[in-house]
Amino acid sequence: MQTHKSGFISSIKAFVCDPFRMFGVVSLVLLLLLTIAPAKDYFSEWHGYQRQYLNIIRNRGDAITLRRHFEGGLHQIWIPQLGVVDRCETCHVGLTETSLADVKEQPFRAHPAMPHKLTEFGCVVCHRGQGGATTVNEAHHSEMAGEEPILPARYMESSCGQCHQGPLEGTPKLNRGRAMLSRYGCVSCHSISLPDGTKLEATDNPPPLTHIADKTTREWIYAWLKDPTSYSTSATMPNFALSDADASDISAFLIANSVPQPGDQVALPAQGHGPAADPAAGASLYGESFCASCHAAQNAAGNLVGGDLGPELTNVGTKVKPEWLLAWMRDPQKYDPATPMPQYRWTDAQLKVIAGYVQNKSNPDLLSNVHLQPATRAQIAHGKQLVTEYGCASCHEIRGVPKPDNFGPNLSRIGSKPVVQLVFLPDMEHSLPAYLTQKIREPRSFGSTFRMPRYNFTPSQVEAVTTALLSLTDRSYSLPLNLQVAAVRETKYQPAGQAGQIMTNLNCLSCHRINGHGGDMAPDLSWEGSSVQRPWLDEFLKNPNTLRPALIRRMPKFNLTDAERTTLTDYMMTVYQTSSFQRDEMPLTGYTPEQVEKGRQLFYSKYACQSCHMVNPNEDKGYIGPTLTKVGARLNAAWIFHYLKDPQAMRPGTIEPNQHMSDDDARALTAFLMAQKTGAGQGAK
Amino acid sequence: MQANPWIAGMLAVTVCAGCAHRQGTAPALKAKAAGAAIVVVSGDKQLGFTGALLAQPLVVQVNDDQGNAVPGALVAVTGPRGVAVDPAQVLTDDSGQATIKVMSRGSSGRYEVTATSQDAHGKAFTLAVAEYAAGYQEEVGSEVNGKYCSRCHDPESTTEQVSNYDNLSVKPHSFASGDAYNKFSDADLANIIARGGPAMNRSAQMPPYGWTLNKAEIQAAIAYIRLVSDPPYAAPGVVYAKH
């Protein structure tokens, strides 16, 4: 053994000492070392994909072009301004080859059409993941601190929201999700501010609870707290999963804490107590007043019909006290100054009919199982403690309970929360989108001590909210200024003077938008004075007939006095004008028969306007757009001309297609339309 | 050579995709009754975003040979790879119906979910239900359709949106009618949408949208039309060179 070993050592010695042999071996080792780099490349994942790609394109018709575009090796998009070093194209070789549209397997799919250039934004700005990585696993799935996994495609719109702070045509899901953050009051508890410094505000109008005992009973509050959807399937208030005892204590506290408001207990004179019920008259007044534009109610078939600006009324009679309902309908702003509901100016007789009709929408079964014992002082005190703990005052005004600041965690950068900081449930996918989805869908599944309530969202609503949250990233704060696209924020516009008072009282801005403030249910009125003729406006306010027979949401009739109407008309005609043209730059009358005839032909043949509009009520059928039978007595000629030239400039978002009309065509059509003054189809066949 | 890391990587990815498609983990159910046919009650031909739960569940009904509903029949549901169904096995309820949640496929396109049951002799009968997985582009296209096109192209009215179809003197096709649309190339569709019916010698009742929608929106509308067409649209075959 010994000799053997020493023999080995000596042979090594001889070897090392022999410079020639030594040189040979070292160069061999060096040569081997030198081949490692190319060999590593050759056997690397990405190289395999590139070879596979060459195989795929080899037999295609456009192989030569594709082969010429192909460059082997590592590819990289480097955008220092965005901190982007993306090597994704190394494997996603055919990303920009539109002719590969039929190739479905990854990584060879061509990128679908997109609004930005790959070379300007790279990949990870939208898709996340590790752009610098050269293996699939590291690029797509890394969860290490400071690294984020790739974003599933269904949340892709969130990435647009990092730069675009406002609604975009191409991101319906993101827009919906962002609106929901305000609509469902998420931002009442979680503060969310955007990189430009604006803070999202709630738009859900939760009612003040200061006088709640005037409005409803403790039993109703209890049932509502236990499950808002048992009262109304469309309730926006979430479910706090309260125990029976807790719901009982909170309801006791709210009733005990309520102070009466003068007037809420007064019944109508004569015919005793409570509003009279005349179902037929009630239904027709309810219809004429277009209550359904804002309030939904279940119809006989069980379908919810109506708007969602106000609460659902299916079972409202079970909730409200008759005296309160009368007081509310007479003057809603007295009970809740911030309510979007207009003051209708109903006469006492009408009030009786409409309140009776609404009060009859009830379901006594709802509360038949609620039996509450009178509450003790301790229980009421406990109720107050619960109201504080659950942050009820974040949304509702409650006497003696101040609005808490930052009740829930701030979510301004939630979209960049690292996976390592999240606590997952067993069996749950380890990703931020999965975490957010679960948090929204079942907040209490993370533990019964969590206070976040549960909303009754559909899967697509959950996805929309998740998308909106994912858009709130660190990256959106570090963007170069030239890439930040601020949202058009709601202005604080309020109409002024006497007209302003009437408009506030009618809550016109709940439905109409004026100068960047208001709702979107009804037309924007910012340029109404340029658009319509004064006599028409005056008549319309007296008797609002809808222009679009196909609409179910219409302008209600408000019983305005003559003086009120004149004030409103004067104000709108003078103040609400566009600066882009003069109202009287084209005449209202005096067009030649030739012009009218030319316009008629354009209307019926070249532009086929009758597809959507009616001029001759006996012939035309279209009703997507407003009826034009008397348009010559309604609109100004100059407005018609400019609207035809560029509909979206005059009414942003209108679906009327821009037909790229010449001035001559637009002028002739204006002449034809201005001839339609009496509804007899002048000049029409 | 065999152990190429990228092959291993692909294998891992494939296996992973397999696990996502979890199925049939519940203990097997036993049929209490047997029917003769399955029909769709609701939830077919839905458009769902890729990888997301369909808004409405799929409801199917098992009938006997008289067409009467059969409660207690066993229905097994499967989807192609990447589509999750829950539950994968279910007994029909008192009204003979079974309700199944469907999670859309991960890549866009039409796919079929298959419901299978057995008759009294153990012979299987099946029903294939088509659903549509919309990627980003198709989703945008469906919004464009809803805002601008469906009023004319969809004969169905809803309470929210009344159809204008009956008022047109030249009738457009519903976007689902593949027989009409599959004949058009993408370029022809883009042309008629951007420049209106007259651009292709058709009625001016089809208005031009090229000055209202941008190119991406028109492409999106086309992607949507391609997705929902029935019979399905097949992209023009790739020309393969002879070896």
A160, A471 contact by CB (below 8 A): yes
Residue A157, pLDDT above cutoff 70: yes
The reply to whether A284 and A230 lie within a common domain is yes
Q: Is B159 on the interface with A (CB under 8 A)?
A: yes
CB proximity B6 to A under 8 Å: yes
Q: Is residue A164 a part of any domain in this protein?
A: no
Of A457, A483, A509, the last residue of a domain is: A483
Q: What structural domains and CATH numbers belong to chain B? A: 5-134 (2.60.40.10), 136-228 (1.10.760.10)
- Report whether B200 contacts B191 (CB < 8 A): yes
Closest CA to A157 of A544, A507, A523, A468: A468
Q: Evaluate whether residue A104 is within a structural domain.
A: yes
Cβ–Cβ below 8 Å for A170 and B235: no
Read off the pLDDT of residues A406-415 as tens digits, 9 standing for 90 and up: 899 999 999 9
Separation of alpha carbons A578 and A132, rounded Å: 52
Stretch A423-428: mean pLDDT: 90
Q: Give residue A649's domain range.
A: 593-674
**d(CA A61, nearest CA chain B) in Å:** 5
What distance in Å separates the CA atoms of residue B219 and residue B141, rounded to the nearest whole number? 8
* Interchain proximity A46–B152, CB inside 8 Å: no
In terms of domains, do A452 and A466 share one? yes
> How confident is the model over A27-49, as a mean pLDDT?
81
What is the distance between the alpha carbons of residues A307 and A294, in angstroms, rounded to a whole number? 4
A530 contacts A579 by C-beta, under 8 angstroms: no
Confidence of residue A112 (pLDDT cuts 50, 70, 90): confident
Q: Do A102 and B238 touch (CB under 8 A)?
A: yes
Higher pLDDT, A29 or A225: A225
Residues pairing with B48 in the sheet: B133
Q: How far apart are CA A483 and CA A477, in angstroms?
A: 11
pLDDT over 90 (residue A2): no
- The minimal CB distance from A612 to the residues B4, B164, B211 is found for B164
Which residues does residue B101 pair with via DSSP β-bridges, in sequence order?
A: B86
The conformation of residue A623, written as its DSSP 8-state character, comes to -
CATH number for the domain spanning A539: value is 1.10.760.10
Could you tell me if B138 lies within 8 Å of chain A, comparing CB atoms?
no
| pLDDT on residue A277 | 61
CA distances from residue A379 to A216, A250, A564, B77 in whole angstroms, order as listed: 20, 8, 51, 52
Q: Which B residues, 181 through 210, put their C-beta within 8 Å of a C-beta on chain A?
A: 203-205, 207-210
CB contact under 8 A, B240 and A49: no
Note whether residue A586 is domain-resident.
Answer: no
Q: Within this chain, do residues A339 and A223 fall inside the same structural domain, yes or no?
A: yes
A contact residues 101-120, partner B, Cβ 8 Å cutoff = 101-102, 104, 112-115
Convert the pLDDT of each residue in A73-90 to its tens digit: 899 999 998 989 999 999
Asked if A669 and A524 sit in the same domain, the reply is no
Burial track A21-49 (b if 16+ CB lie within 10 A, e otherwise): eeeeeeeeeeeeeeeeeeeeeeebbbbbb
| A167-184 pLDDT, tens digit each | 887 888 999 999 999 999
State the average pLDDT for chain A: 89
Task: Give dist(CA A597, CA A669) in Å, integer.
Answer: 9
Show which of residues 259-288 on chain A sit within 8 Å of chain B, judged by CB atoms: none
Residues 50-109 (B) with a CB less than 8 A from some CB of A: 50-55, 106-107, 109
Quote the pLDDT of residue B179. 93
CB–CB contacts below 8 A, A to B: 130
**Chain A (172-211) residues lying within 8 Å, Cβ to Cβ, of chain B:** 172-173
Overall domain count for chain A = 6
Q: For position A268, what pLDDT does the model report? A: 57
Looking at the structure, do residues A357 and A305 belong to the same domain, yes or no? yes
Question: Are residues A546 and A595 in contact, defined by beta-carbon separation less than 8 angstroms?
Answer: no
Q: Which two tokens stand for residue B220?
A: 């999106």
Give the chain B residue whose CA is nearest to the CA of A622.
B167
| A466 and A549 housed in the same domain | no
| Model confidence at A342: pLDDT above 90 | yes
Residue A668 has pLDDT above 60, yes or no: yes
Q: Which of A154, A156, A657 sits opposite B209 (nearest CB)?
A: A657
pLDDT for A42 beyond 60:
yes
Q: A420 and A330 in one domain?
A: no
Q: Would you place residue A287 in the very low, low, confident or very high pLDDT band (cuts 50, 70, 90)?
A: confident
| In a domain? residue A585 | no
Query: Which chain A positions have a beta carbon within 8 Å of B145's beta carbon?
Result: none
Examine the fold and report which residue of A529, A544, A575 is the final residue of a domain before the chain moves on.
Answer: A575
Number of DSSP helices (H) and strands (E) in chain A, helices first: 31, 6
Quickly list H helices, A404-445.
Answer: 432-441
Q: Are residues A438 and A509 in the same domain?
A: no
Quickly state the pLDDT bin for B16 (edges 50, 70, 90). Answer: very low
| Same-domain pairing of A221 and A356 | yes
pLDDT of B58 over the 80 cut = yes
Nearest chain B residue (CA) to A101: B235
Cβ contacts of A45 on chain B, cutoff 8 Å? 5-6, 9
Position A400 in a domain = no
The residues that bridge with B75 in the sheet, in sequence order, are B90
- Residues on chain A touching B13 (C-beta within 8 angstroms): 136
The Cα–Cα gap between B168 and B149 comes to 13
The reply to whether A682 falls in a domain is no
Task: Report the alpha-carbon distance of residue A330 to residue A340 in Å, rounded.
Answer: 14
Residue range A115-125: average pLDDT?
Answer: 90
Task: Look at residue A67 in the predicted model and tell me its pLDDT.
Answer: 92
* Nearest CB partner across the interface for A102, out of B52, B212, B235: B235
A605·B152 Cβ contact <8 A: no
CB contact B42 to A (< 8 Å): no
* Residues A349 and A217 occupy one common structural domain: yes
Q: Pick the most confident of A197-206, A564-573, B116-125.
A: A564-573
Q: Among A197-206, A583-592, B229-238, whose mean pLDDT is lowest?
A: B229-238
HSE toward the beta carbon, residue A571, CA cutoff 13 A: 19
Residues A540, A587 contacting (CB under 8 angstroms)? no
| Stretch B82-99: mean pLDDT | 92
Does residue B12 carry a pLDDT above 60? no
Choose among A560, A563, A567, A528: nearest CA to A544. Answer: A560
A581-618 per-position pLDDT tens digit? 999 999 999 999 999 999 999 999 999 999 999 998 88
CB contact under 8 A, A552 and B7: no
pLDDT value, residue B126:
94
Query: Which of A32-41, A79-88, B87-96, B186-195 is predicted least confidently?
Result: A32-41
The reported pLDDT for the residue numbered B3 is 40
Least confident of A68-72, A123-127, B159-163, B216-220: B159-163
| Domain annotation covers residue A353 | yes
Based on the domain organization, do A221 and A337 belong to the same domain? yes
B160 close to A (CB below 8 A): yes
Give residues 298 to 327 of A whose Cβ lies within 8 Å of B.
Answer: 303, 305
Output the pLDDT for position A11.
67
Q: Are strands A84-86 and A297-298 parallel, antiparallel or unpaired?
A: unpaired
The overall average pLDDT reported for chain B is 84
A16 band by pLDDT with thresholds 50, 70 and 90? low
Inter-chain touch B207–A156, beta carbons under 8 Å = no
Residues 6+ apart with CB under 8 A from A646: A658
**Helix H or strand E encompassing A325:** helix A322-330
State the amino acid at position A558 in one-letter form: F
Q: Are residues A56 and A34 in the same domain?
A: no
Residue A545 amino acid letter: N
Residue after which a domain boundary falls, among A483, A512, A545: A483
What pTM was estimated for this model as a whole?
Answer: 0.81
Determine the Cα angle at A628 with ends A627 and A630, to 5°: 115
ipTM over cut 0.85: no
Q: Specify the pLDDT at position A481.
A: 86
Chain A interface includes B30 (CB < 8 A): no
Higher pLDDT residue, A262 or B91?
Answer: B91
pLDDT tens digits, one per residue of B222-231? 999 999 998 9
pLDDT of A288: 85
Q: Is residue A256 part of a domain?
A: yes
How large is the average pLDDT for residues A624-629?
89
A39-48, A268-277, A561-570, A621-630: range with lowest mean pLDDT: A268-277
Task: Decide if B238 touches A, using CB distance below 8 A.
Answer: yes
pLDDT score for A33: 81
* Confidence label for A14 from pLDDT (cuts 50, 70 and 90): low
- Shortest distance, CA A665 to any CA of chain B (angstroms): 15
Residue A458 above 90 pLDDT?
no
Residues of chain A contacting B214 with CB distance shorter than 8 Å: 169
Enumerate the residues of chain B whose CB falls inside 8 A of the CB of residue A659: 207-208, 211
Each residue's pLDDT tens digit, A533-564: 999 999 999 888 766 655 566 788 888 999 99
> Scanning every residue of chain B, which has its alpha carbon at the shortest distance from the alpha carbon of A659?
B208
- From the list A491, A510, A606, the residue with the least C-alpha distance to A556 is A510
**Residue A613 pLDDT:** 93
Query: CB-based contact (8 Å) between B147 and chain A?
Result: yes
8 Å CB contact of B240 and A61: yes
